[in-house]
Amino acid sequence: MRIILTASAAAELADAANWYASRAPALTARFLDQFEALIERLADNPQQFPIVNGQTRRAGFLGFPYGLFFRLRDDQVEVFACFHASRDPKRWQART
């Protein structure tokens, strides 16, 4: 499936990567590798991830407290948020 990353999700991903780069540079590459691995899994089989709200699904990063929130749209996966687990879920829910 085709993956679409919204501008909001891309900005949140960049913010998270920058946070790791400023505090633990060695983790930045691991974080981005996890993102790439999740994107591959989403493209292969997005329905493997649980529904968390309505039609929204969450794909969690391995070893990092982040998740990609997405929905299926015909033949594509729209990732609309890259959220830290401690953030208020109302912020991503407002985008659905």
Give the count of domains, the chain: 1
Strand partners, 4: 78
Q: What is the pLDDT of residues 19-62, one digit of tens each?
A: 999 998 889 999 999 999 999 999 999 999 999 989 999 999 99
**pTM exceeds 0.85, yes or no:** yes
Domain span at residue 32? 2-93
59-63, 65-69, 87-91 — which is least confidently predicted?
87-91
41 close to 2: Cβ distance less than 8 angstroms:
no
Residue 89's CATH number: 3.30.2310.20
pLDDT band at 92 (very low <50, low <70, confident <90, very high): low
Round to whole Å and give the CA distance between 19 and 40.
24
